[in-house]
Structure 1
Amino acid sequence: MTAAAQSTPPHRPDTRSEHWLDTRPRLVVASAFMLFLELALIRWTGSNIVHLSYFTNFVLLGSFLGIGLGFLRVGRTDRPPYYSPIALAALVAVILLFPVTVDRHTEGVLYWTSLSAGGPPPWLILPVVFVAAAVVLMGPAELVGRCFPELDRLEAYRYDLVGSLTGIGLFTALSFLGAPPVVWGAIAALAYAVLLRPRGLWPRVVLAVPSLVVVGALAVETLTAGALWSPYYKVTHSRFEQEGVPVMDIQVNGIPHQRAVPAVNRLEWERQYALPYERAAGGRLDDVLIVGAGSGTDVAIALSKGAKRVDAVEIDPRLRELGGAHHPDRPYADPRVTTHITDGRAFLEQTAKRYDLILFALPDSLTLVSGASSLRLESYLFTREAMEAAREHLKPGGAFSMYNYYRESWLVDRLASTVQAAFGHKPCVDVVSTAGQQAVITAGVTERAQSCGAEWAGATAATPPPSGDDRPFLYLKDRTIPQIYVVTLLLILIVSLLAVRVVAGPYRRMRPYADLFLLGVAFLLLETKSVTGFALLFGTTWVVNAIVFAGVLVAVLAAVEVTRRFRTPSLPAMYGVLLAGLALAWLVPDSWLLGLPVPARAVVAVVVAFLPIFAANVVFAKRFADSADGTTAFGANLLGAMVGGCLEYLALVIGYQALLAVAGLLYLGAFALLPRTARAA
């Protein structure tokens, strides 16, 4: 701890409650519940409201607002936050009674499988979800915040971090086990009961009724939908016959996603599935790689074409399980097939094997990477660097092909020009149907290794340039933030300003902690860069994502422990270390890291990513330890994180690497606002 904190500790009034749990375990439980509930809300709302499959940041921002408000409410009331379970029950009921499917055709943001609008309009349901998420999370945050005055600043922060790690671990374990939301609801009900400790008939009724509503509604959803819960989707399926042919229809998050059909019928019904084999002039199929293998139809087709060995890469284990159990051709039971449950780009970067044919088979994820506002699961598959990686894994005479319903002609041309840039010659482009721009793009490792039906006309002046690993936004036509994002984020900020004023009182309470606010803004950008960077280096899988978030919390906890136990350099010196860490992260490109062996890549990536995170949190810990009002200081920092979540969208224009520069400017601003009395700390 700093010398100032040791000699003149902030005054802590005797606020110890009569709760049956001691302060420390209560703080751990409340913090674990807070993070668990946040993750569960993001996961569950996205599975029932189509917009939120792509705008997961929307719920995250509401959660940050609620957590910040919860801390700011500490000391203003002693009433238990029964409003939180009531708001949760209302949110669950509204979403299940009025599920939303949305037509997502726009020029700014392109999505697959667009459906007609159903349920409440977006302008109504999205604000409801945002406000409800804030109110729900405000309750656990208030319970966490009430523990802070009872402990030393950094000790309280330490147990808060331990609880957060516990919450992430619990939710990750449930994701691994495929636990349905009714289990999440039961855990939430139990946590509310433990933390709110209702006494008397009325408080027990106020808690029991919404808890029963949540658990009961989620149980009904689980039993009636027959859903499988993968780490990414709510997966439902039905089996029937079409023209006498057995078919398995798969929906994810309520959206039609895949159909498992016998290979012979698929080839008869849809010409695009045969074109990669016709355009590959080499003819050999000793080794085939299929990325986006899904339920297995593309694998079955490769086998029917004579493939001797097939590596089937699929990111979602539940889709693979459904294909293994119910696909009419049973392709995954064939000894020629090896399954890899991982991210396609990560597989390409980590394997040394070469192939006669590499096929990207309709890899459209329908969801975003958690913690990254605009990064989809397949974003790093369609960059120029990914196409170059595919080319490097082809045998002499081999070919690469991909197909999908691309919806827009400019997108077909963009992908074709990306392949051209990576392979050095024009690919074969077959637009099978202009309705939905159903197209197949095929390129041989050399021009002689492909056999085109007609020459592609080439990109036009209106064709966007190829996307790259730093800006992997294939479906964003222009280098801009779409208007839908701008308007939504402005409304979020306006609502947040009003909410802070209403719930927490005058803004002057937070004025002394303006530097902590900016630290929160900058740290969220730093965390986003870490999440997206590790997704590129090691895959966009849920396991990598969970490890990165846990790693960030471990780095923060380490910073707190170092600050508590050792005399650390002054704040100006630590700001210097922080800026040096940002400079190092800026100078070490991801392309260089991708060239390293996986073990070395992991070591270097951890050092580069977590050095500035560690330094930033030593800065925060030292400043927080000497704050006069711990809960207000912490609340200001959390509200800053919410603003940082809004600024993430700058990456759509400037790329992820440039977020480091924005974070650096924010940290300089925080240093400029640092009180003079704190500079010697």
Structure 2
Amino acid sequence: MTQKGIMKKEGIELFVISLLGLFLEMACIRWLPSQVRVLSYYTNIVLLAAFLGLGIGYILSARKKDFIYAFPLIFLVLISSAAFFAQKNIEVTHHVSVYFWQTIISPLAQINLKWVLLFFFMITTLLFIPIGQQTGRLFDRLNPLPAYTINIFGSVTGILLYSCMSYNLIPPIWIFALFMILYLYFVFTRTNQWFFVLTAVLFVVLMSWISVMDKGTFWSPYYKIRIDKIPSEKHKPGFTLTVNNDYHQMALNLSKEATAESKGDYEWARLYELPFRLRGSVKNAMIVGAGTGNDVAAALRMNVEHIDAVDIDPLILKIGKRHHPEQPYNSPRVSVYNDDARSFFKKTNKKYDVIVFGFLDSHQLFSSMSEMRLDTYVYTVESIREACSLLAPDGILSVTFCVTKDWIGNRLYKIMKEATGVDPLILQSGEEPNGFTYVYNYTSPDLKGYTKLPPDYFGNDDIPVATDNWPYFYLRERAIPVDYIIVLGIIALFSLAMILVSGLDSLRRFNNVFFLLGAGFLLFETQSITRMSLLFGSTWIVNSAVLVSIFLTILCANFFVFTCNVKCLKPFFILLFIAVAVNYFFPINVILQYGFFLKAFIAGVLIGLPIFFSGIIFITLFRNSESRSSAMGSNLLGAMCGGILEYTSMLYGINSLLIFVVVFYGLALLLTLKKGSTSH
């Protein structure tokens, strides 16, 4: 084969392995939490492990030992472990400072949170080392700028392919199947025949196992979903809906015929009908978190003229439309919007007599590339304030929540009070123990038979309210939970141990400048996705678009470096610091009033410029680096460090991450000045 043919072949292989790395990363972030419930709260752990594994793999690319042979076995261990924890009788214990939703009765075993997180962090790290090693080897064989361009195109393709499959509700078994086919293509010419055949057989077995694990389930872009019918002899039955192996909501038959024979169903009906009973005649109502349709059915029973039903999950809406016993979504008086609540608040120009926040209980605490915070940004001061601005004169806002911890109830009360300036009513319906309704702007003494609770019913502790800058509704106080501190400490030690085990040569290949660039970039990316989610909604489409836009901006920076022959980096560091400062001080809420395209343009400039300048800095230094694989490996290890520091936002808020961005890039500037790299 000619030299040109070899370069073309290696370019294709780099594209494939880059696609595989990003594709597998996103697949693990989605699938593992569906089997291991605790990872639904801490998906960031999977991302950190992927960064560490890829980074170490890059650094080990010069080693003769080929870790690609270990990948199938590690994958087998990961699937087996997930299958074990998918059992409903395994309970994960945790610190009381974080609110978890677990419905486990008589657990067979109890395992502490930190050991579960650490175990899956270790296995996931090992899983990504072979992919990082192969990517690093290909980087060192190709010219730096073309190699980096191919790597970006492969990553973008991986994001688009995965997002397309998730958007079309394709279950993970087929996502993993596609990954396995691409993996087998990649290793076909790199391994012997027996390994290839045995790996193919093992993958078929694993596919069958995953299929059995997920039997009887449906997949939305956000959840693994299972539905089970509620037995009923006389009336059309409802069903329970579980997500990621835990209870999520019920679809109930609360028609007059059904509730006439059941006191329990009657009380449930009164709970859902509460805001409409209080308001009386209702022309327009909005229901966010409409889910399978209980609130919508209640509005229809109370003769509301028109209802806008909003829910972020397309599959849950589809299930509600097909299977809810009262068929509320088939009514011509109902308009269904598959959208994020905050996004819909910004899009609608209607005024509502009643706005209802349904039982929104997804509570994912932290971010990752999946970045699906769902209702975390619904229960903030700014969110309640936005909703109130959509009320018609004398309109009421109702928030119903399943309160199982007093501090959660107290926080929700304080959020509504700070957002509206008045004390909300706290009402309870009948004997439902945990369903409490907070009502704003209802001043009539007639409570329609509902029980009014005192303002201090949940206590009056000084507890921080959730805001868009500190959106941790399910975190009791501004602190990093004890379990997290322990886990992050162990992760740091494990990461150091992995680097030491890789040998002294690996330490010599470590590049501290690229480490700092990686940490700063990850933190800015996290903050950017948060801002875009607030502007356009925290949906798969928005987050995928943001990630693709970031990569395309990097490609633009790559083209700029290639055509302009950048020699001095000092001006670009200065421009980067200015752009980050603008992001820190610019109030993002100012542009909420504008139309979509103007809003997208302003947000694109705000977020795009720091990405562009940081891309120029990275690519210029990358072009001049002695070892591309060690530069990329160090960069990914830095990204993992940035991911750990992301948890400081639990203390200081999301915007504080920008301070760390300036610190990391400032240190990178000092090191490059010391080495004389900025003028090369």
Report the TM range for the smaller structure's normalisation.
Answer: over 0.9
Partner of 1:479: 478
Q: Post-superposition shift, 1:309?
A: 0.3
Partner of 1:606: 604
Gaps of at least 5 residues in structure 1 are 1-13
Aligned length: 662
Q: Post-superposition shift, 1:90?
A: 2.1
Please give the alpha-carbon distance, in whole angstroms, between the structure 2 residues aligned to 1:27 and 1:141: 11
For residues 489 and 432 of structure 1, do their structure 2 counterparts lie closer, same or farther at Cα, with a shift above 3 Å needed? farther
Provide the identity percentage.
31
Partner of 2:497: 498
Q: Which letter does structure 1 place at the counterpart of 2:542? A: V
Please give the alpha-carbon distance, in whole angstroms, between the structure 2 residues aligned to 1:449 and 1:351: 32
Q: Which letter does structure 2 place at the counterpart of 1:439? A: F
Please give the alpha-carbon distance, in whole angstroms, between the structure 2 residues aligned to 1:19 and 1:185: 29
**Alignment of 1:395 onto 2:392:** yes
**Alignment of 1:334 onto 2:326:** no
Please give the alpha-carbon distance, in whole angstroms, between the structure 2 residues aligned to 1:209 and 1:556: 39
Please give the alpha-carbon distance, in whole angstroms, between the structure 2 residues aligned to 1:504 and 1:227: 45
For residues 595 and 305 of structure 1, do their structure 2 counterparts lie closer, same or farther at Cα, with a shift above 3 Å needed? same
Partner of 1:410: 407
Matched ranges for 1:141-160 at <5 A: 141-160=132-151
Matched ranges for 1:44-193 at <5 A: 44-77=31-64, 79=66, 81-99=68-86, 101=88, 102=91, 106-116=95-105, 121=111, 122-193=113-184
Deviation sequence 1:504-541 (CA, Å, 0-9, x none): 54564145x21110111111100000111111111111
**Alignment of 1:218 onto 2:192:** no
For residues 191 and 231 of structure 1, do their structure 2 counterparts lie closer, same or farther at Cα, with a shift above 3 Å needed? same
Partner of 2:15: 28
Partner of 1:321: 318
Provide the secondary structure at the position in 2 that maps to 1:110: coil
Partner of 1:238: 228
Which of 301, 305, 318 in structure 2 is aligned with 1:304? 301
Please give the alpha-carbon distance, in whole angstroms, between the structure 2 residues aligned to 1:110 and 1:83: 38
Partner of 2:347: 350
Provide the secondary structure at the position in 1 that maps to 2:401: strand
Q: Post-superposition shift, 1:368?
A: 5.8
Q: Which letter does structure 2 place at the counterpart of 1:443? A: Y
Task: Answer yes or no: is the 8 Å Cα contact 1:408–1:436 preserved in 2.
Answer: no
Q: Which letter does structure 1 place at the counterpart of 2:306? A: R
What is the root-mean-square deviation in Å for CA atoms of aligned residues? 2.6
Which of 188, 191, 194 in structure 2 is aligned with 1:202? 194
Between stretches 78-87 and 615-624, larger displacement belongs to 78-87
Provide the secondary structure at the position in 1 that maps to 2:655: coil
Q: Which letter does structure 1 place at the counterpart of 2:228? A: S
Q: Which letter does structure 2 place at the counterpart of 1:383? A: T
Partner of 1:664: 662
Q: Post-superposition shift, 1:366?
A: 4.5
| TM-score normalised per structure 1 | 0.92
Q: Post-superposition shift, 1:118?
A: 5.6
Partner of 1:9: none
Task: Answer yes or no: is the 8 Å Cα contact 2:342–2:378 preserved in 1.
Answer: yes
For residues 486 and 183 of structure 1, do their structure 2 counterparts lie closer, same or farther at Cα, with a shift above 3 Å needed? same
Provide the secondary structure at the position in 2 that maps to 1:290: strand
Q: Post-superposition shift, 1:431?
A: 4.4
Q: Which letter does structure 1 place at the counterpart of 2:465? A: P
Please give the alpha-carbon distance, in whole angstroms, between the structure 2 residues aligned to 1:312 and 1:504: 58
Partner of 1:465: 464
Q: Post-superposition shift, 1:350?
A: 1.6
Q: Post-superposition shift, 1:569?
A: 5.7
Between stretches 324-333 and 368-377, larger displacement belongs to 368-377
For residues 433 and 411 of structure 1, do their structure 2 counterparts lie closer, same or farther at Cα, with a shift above 3 Å needed? farther
Between stretches 283-292 and 111-120, larger displacement belongs to 111-120
For residues 378 and 498 of structure 1, do their structure 2 counterparts lie closer, same or farther at Cα, with a shift above 3 Å needed? same
Q: Post-superposition shift, 1:97?
A: 4.0
Q: Which letter does structure 1 place at the counterpart of 2:398? A: S
Q: Which letter does structure 1 place at the counterpart of 2:217? A: A
Partner of 2:246: 255
Please give the alpha-carbon distance, in whole angstroms, between the structure 2 residues aligned to 1:673 and 1:497: 22
Provide the secondary structure at the position in 2 that maps to 1:335: coil
Partner of 2:521: 523
Task: Answer yes or no: is the 8 Å Cα contact 1:15–1:149 preserved in 2.
Answer: no
Between stretches 668-677 and 45-54, larger displacement belongs to 668-677
Partner of 2:571: 573
Provide the secondary structure at the position in 1 that maps to 2:230: strand
Gaps of at least 5 residues in structure 2 are none
Task: Answer yes or no: is the 8 Å Cα contact 2:94–2:483 preserved in 1.
Answer: no
Task: Answer yes or no: is the 8 Å Cα contact 1:226–1:236 preserved in 2.
Answer: yes
Deviation sequence 1:330-362 (CA, Å, 0-9, x none): 111000000000111111122111101000000
Deviation sequence 1:265-299 (CA, Å, 0-9, x none): 47514243233234x3x422111111011111111
Please give the alpha-carbon distance, in whole angstroms, between the structure 2 residues aligned to 1:414 and 1:291: 20
Task: Answer yes or no: is the 8 Å Cα contact 1:178–1:231 preserved in 2.
Answer: yes
Partner of 1:633: 631
Q: Post-superposition shift, 1:21?
A: 7.3
Please give the alpha-carbon distance, in whole angstroms, between the structure 2 residues aligned to 1:104 and 1:428: 34
**Alignment of 1:229 onto 2:190:** no
Task: Answer yes or no: is the 8 Å Cα contact 1:413–1:463 preserved in 2.
Answer: no
Please give the alpha-carbon distance, in whole angstroms, between the structure 2 residues aligned to 1:373 and 1:651: 18
Between stretches 554-563 and 301-310, larger displacement belongs to 554-563
Please give the alpha-carbon distance, in whole angstroms, between the structure 2 residues aligned to 1:298 and 1:658: 38
Please give the alpha-carbon distance, in whole angstroms, between the structure 1 residues aligned to 2:87 and 2:498: 27
Partner of 1:542: 540
Which of 8, 17, 26 in structure 2 is aligned with 1:39? 26
Please give the alpha-carbon distance, in whole angstroms, between the structure 2 residues aligned to 1:385 and 1:255: 29
Provide the secondary structure at the position in 2 that maps to 1:402: strand
Please give the alpha-carbon distance, in whole angstroms, between the structure 2 residues aligned to 1:448 and 1:354: 21
Between stretches 169-178 and 72-81, larger displacement belongs to 72-81
Q: Post-superposition shift, 1:214?
A: 2.2
Q: Post-superposition shift, 1:676?
A: 2.6
Provide the secondary structure at the position in 1 that maps to 2:250: strand
Deviation sequence 1:589-637 (CA, Å, 0-9, x none): 1221223332211111111011111111111111111111111111111
Deviation sequence 1:543-594 (CA, Å, 0-9, x none): 1111111111111121112112222361111111110110111121122122
Task: Answer yes or no: is the 8 Å Cα contact 1:28–1:162 preserved in 2.
Answer: yes
Task: Answer yes or no: is the 8 Å Cα contact 1:357–1:399 preserved in 2.
Answer: yes
Between stretches 422-431 and 575-584, larger displacement belongs to 422-431
